[in-house]
Copies of this chain bind each other. A is one copy, B any other.
Amino acid sequence: MEALKRSITQYGQVVGTDVLKVDGFLNHRLDVSLLAQMGRDVYDHFSDCDVDEIVTIEASGIGYAVLTAQFFNCPVVFAKKKGARNQAEGVYTATVHSFTHGNDNVVAVDKRYIRPGDKVLVMDDFLAHGEAVRGLLSICEQAGAEVVGVACAIEKGFQGGGDELRAKGVNLYSQAIVERMDEHEIVFRD
């Protein structure tokens, strides 16, 4: 998705060997106009899939998912990262390791919001090792829902998570795949 690649090239900052900071438009400051274009592109890719809901994970996936959901005219369900006092019993959970934060999070979705047979589009802003997406796929499987596809904004191809999902037959659409990167250059997969 060319507009996204241009923003990554222009504003992305590579830190060390594996961190790509895109705080300026995707992870902290949200370029709502770009996200809406990205949402339209995701919709074009999955428009024949009859999506019942988009499932994502807090926090930075939410803006991207919501602006995509407008085109599908469907709700968004976001997995929560920990139990809260006012969170209901009756949740599907998965453990997700964060390489960024160096810890494990339990993510949870209320059983009422993903129903058996629902057609789900899973979305996340980043796909690296694939931990978050695998957690969301597990939750959808527990719910008896059908995952019609997975969309992510930026896949770090060199970390392998995306290719593992494709090898398992997941219908994955990454809007920009970074093949390699260093402080001088960010190279996208064709």
Give residues in A with beta carbon < 8 Å to B: 15, 19, 21, 23-25, 28-33, 35-36, 53, 58-60, 62-63, 65-67, 69-70, 73-78, 80, 84-88, 100-102, 109-110, 112-113
Q: Is the CB of B110 within 8 A of A76?
A: no
5 interchain pairs, CB-CB under 8 A: A32-B76, A58-B60, A59-B78, A63-B66, A85-B101
List of B residues within 8 angstroms of A73 by Cβ = 32-33
List of B residues within 8 angstroms of A19 by Cβ = 85-86
Q: Is the CB of B76 within 8 A of A100?
A: no
Q: Is the CB of B75 within 8 A of A28?
A: no
> Which of chain B's residues has its CB closest to A68's CB?
B32
Give 8 new A-B contacts, CB below 8 A, not counting A29-B76, A59-B59, A59-B62.
Answer: A24-B113, A28-B110, A32-B75, A36-B70, A58-B58, A59-B80, A62-B63, A67-B70
Q: Is the CB of B75 within 8 A of A30?
A: yes
Q: Classify the interface of chain A: helix, strand, loop or mixed.
A: mixed
Shortest distance in angstroms between A119's beta carbon and chain B's nearest beta carbon?
16
Shortest distance in angstroms between A3's beta carbon and chain B's nearest beta carbon?
15
Q: Is the CB of A86 within 8 A of B113?
A: no
Shortest distance in angstroms between A186's beta carbon and chain B's nearest beta carbon?
15
Instruction: Name the contact of A23 in the complex, choosing from B15, B24, B110 (C-beta under 8 A).
Output: B110
List of B residues within 8 angstroms of A33 by Cβ = 73
The listed residue with most B CB atoms (<10 A of its CB), out of A23, A35, A87, is A23
List of B residues within 8 angstroms of A110 by Cβ = 23, 28-29
